[in-house]
Amino acid sequence: MTKAGTQQAAADIILSETGFAMSQGTISRLCKGEGKPAMFYFVAYTLENGLGKIKK
């Protein structure tokens, strides 16, 4: 999450990469460790891909 800057920036990257609107509140809960493993992997994978595209 720290690579994205803010939780809202992470939510925006997820939306642009997948078309799935994830609220900042949902990301906040994931940061606290509240969530299913599949959701953690989905978010991590999506953010890595999205940030990789931004940095290029």
Specify the pLDDT at position 5: 82
Is residue 11 within 8 Å of 24, Cβ to Cβ?
yes
pLDDT band at 1 (very low <50, low <70, confident <90, very high): low
Specify the pLDDT at position 52: 83
Is residue 27 within 8 Å of 1, Cβ to Cβ?
yes
Angle at 52 between CA 19 and CA 16, to 5 degrees: 15
Specify the pLDDT at position 2: 62
Residue pLDDT, tens place only, 21-50: 999 899 999 989 999 999 999 999 999 998
Specify the pLDDT at position 29: 93
Specify the pLDDT at position 53: 81
